[in-house]
Structure 1
Amino acid sequence: MTTPADEILDIVDEHDQVIGRSPRGEAYAKGLRHRCVFIQARDAEGRLFVHRRTATKLVFPSLYDMFVGGVVGAGESYDEAALREAEEELGVSGLPTPRFLFKFLYDDGTGRSWWSAVYEVRCDLPVRPQAEEVAWHDFLPEAEVERRLSEWEWVPDGLAAYARLREHRAAS
């Protein structure tokens, strides 16, 4: 049986060009640069999907996130990964294609970094998040998410993506 740590990832350089492949667990352990997708999901009322990760997640266990998403598999495009990850984490099928917004190189401050593609999608379907990925979830008004930023412990790369998304929207 394969585990998430066994998933093969493309390893990329500072220009997001593929330079090799590695199992996810090894990529994390060695700090190898890879690709991730962040999808902001909103319901019909415009509320944001927010969740708390399970304690068993490989990175950032038990922290809150305002994005669904994850790693881009070897040979997979950002767009393919965005739809796959959104449907997996929300527990839906038939989701519209997430809309690409921008990409940035996230640096965690310890010398580890990953390319991060940010998307948005509207989810009018009833969600059934994966129990092994999501410990709690709700659709919250953006004002409540903003209030919770200083109260809850959030995944750091999600916070960085959220800050950049606010800047992106302000500039648009």
Structure 2
Amino acid sequence: MGETIAVYDRAGREIGSAERSVVYAEGRWHASAGVLVRSLDGERLYVHRRTETKAVFAGMHDCLAGGVLGPGEDPAGAAIRELAEELGIVLEPGDEPPLPLAKASWDGEWLGAPMRCHLFAYELRYDGPIRHQPEEIADGWWWTDAELRAHLDDPAWPFVPDTRVLIEDMLG
């Protein structure tokens, strides 16, 4: 049996759960939460490339460290969990939590199958060490907003399509 994730309706309400593979195969609505990591001065953001072994958007770039929500999981809690898992940024008691940045719904397609996701983006200001989870993150870089925009202007540049719907709300 595979990983169980939360299933949502089109309006963004959690309505149950199912195995991740079933949710993806049937194009069911689900939710993900991610964190945009910005330098303390706000001048740079962290962009990473996903590993080639990821089930979805393999080898593509993203500026959100994130993942899908489990049953009953709060988006803010999921964002903090994913930040620790993917980039090794562990928040301690008393640390400022990531702040809500943007949300949207993406009704798209991946490899010919429908994919529908409610997206919750947060932002964290951070200048400490980053430690990639090797199963999920292949590489990463600190870029300015302008550098990311220049890459996004190239339609052939492999960037995850769901995060693209949040870009205008996330970048300065």
- Fold agreement, TM-score > 0.5: yes
RMSD across aligned positions (CA): 1.8
* Equivalent position of 1:35 in the other structure: 31
The superposition leaves residues 37-74 of structure 1 with CA deviations (integer Å, 9 ceiling, x where unpaired) of 12111122421100110000010000111111110111
The superposition leaves residues 77-96 of structure 1 with CA deviations (integer Å, 9 ceiling, x where unpaired) of 00100111112111121264
* Equivalent position of 1:101 in the other structure: 101
* Equivalent position of 1:126 in the other structure: 129
SS, match of residue 117 in structure 2: strand
**Preserved contact between residue 99 and residue 124 of structure 2 (Cα < 8 Å):** yes
Report how many aligned residue pairs link the two structures. 163
The superposition leaves residues 110-151 of structure 1 with CA deviations (integer Å, 9 ceiling, x where unpaired) of 653111111111122200111111111011111111111134
Please say if 1:25 is aligned against 2:21.
Answer: yes
Question: Per-residue deviation at 1:33?
Answer: 0.5
Q: Distance in 1 between the 2:136 and 2:97 partners?
A: 22
Q: Distance in 2 between the 1:68 and 1:57 partners?
A: 14
Q: Distance in 1 between the 2:103 and 2:148 partners?
A: 22
Gaps of 5+ in 1: none
Q: Distance in 2 between the 1:131 and 1:113 partners?
A: 27
* Equivalent position of 1:156 in the other structure: 161
1:1-172 to structure 2, matched below 5 A, reads 6-46=2-42, 47-94=44-91, 96-108=96-108, 111-151=114-154, 152-166=157-171
**Preserved contact between residue 38 and residue 158 of structure 1 (Cα < 8 Å):** no
After the TM superposition, which parts of structure 1 deviate over 2 Å for at least 4 consecutive aligned residues? Answer: 109-112, 163-166
Q: Percent identity?
A: 36
Given residue 9 of structure 2, which amino acid in structure 1 is its aligned partner?
Answer: D
Higher helix share goes to which structure?
Answer: 1
Q: Distance in 2 between the 1:13 and 1:82 partners?
A: 21
Q: Given the two structures, how large is their TM-score scaled by the length of structure 2?
A: 0.86
Q: Given the two structures, how large is their TM-score scaled by the length of structure 1?
A: 0.86
Higher strand share goes to which structure?
Answer: 2
Q: Distance in 2 between the 1:57 and 1:107 partners?
A: 20
Q: Distance in 2 between the 1:129 and 1:29 partners?
A: 28
